[in-house]
Structure 1
Amino acid sequence: MKIAILNGPNLNLLGKREPEIYGNLTFEAYLSDLKSKFPEISFTYFQSNIEGELIDQLHAYGFSYDGIILNAGAYTHTSIGIGDAVKGITTPVIEVHISNTFSREEFRHQSYISPNAKGVIIGFGLQSYELAIQSFL
């Protein structure tokens, strides 16, 4: 099974940025744990602060992978282009968020991804990614 994990803007700062919301663990350390926990899965990981690069990756994996886990960060709430890219591919996408976006600012309550995602997992910290993986299994 092949799963791509795509992280959007500022998620490269996990472990440093607002640890009270996002925790102290880097995503790379967490990914290493996921690879150990799910050795039967071939993971591809990509992070970018650039909207178009995330769209390019959705196109690249969106017809040949078994699943995509997408945390588009703030682009979730602003990017019609990412929402359209999710709609345009055949690989199922799970939208994840580390924090509970509904307990935060009002603008974070809107998602352009959710209407085209297989599902949405919000607010379980980094465990949100593991829950998404389990949905593909």
Structure 2
Amino acid sequence: MPRIAATARDGEWSDPDCPVARTLDLVGDRWSLLVIRDAMDGARSFTEFQRRTGIARNILTDRLRKLTAHGFVAQRTAPSGRRREYVLTDAGRDLFPVIVTLRQWGERHAFAPGETHSVLVDQHGEPVPDVSPTGGDGSLLTPDTTQVRKVGS
């Protein structure tokens, strides 16, 4: 499978040397991440995505087209054989830790204490533990303990 970067046209990147900027160029708008979130939660059809997100049809059409073009989702024939459905590719599934981290940040910072919200649970019904980056020695990494270094040519 070709790398997602190979699908971008020259000059399309807002900051061509930064992996964060490139990722945001590909999936950084609200609707793209909500479509990815819902695909992770089992949505497959255009109608399901629209019902779950409330997104306008024209915007959803555009986001699904872009997510497909950039290799985050693929279209296939639904098991019924009558419709097409959208499924996550490996690149789309690789966004799972990003979605979990955004969710956990939101649980901590986007709700008032005691305010009702959804919670991600594992297959046993237990809340998913906080995602925290750690170094090779297991120590917690923070902005104070990491630095950006350029690689490649």
TM-score, normalization by structure 1: 0.28
Larger radius of gyration: 2
TM-score, normalization by structure 2: 0.26
Greater relative contact order, per chain length (Cα 8 Å cut-off, separation 6+): 1
Higher strand share: 1
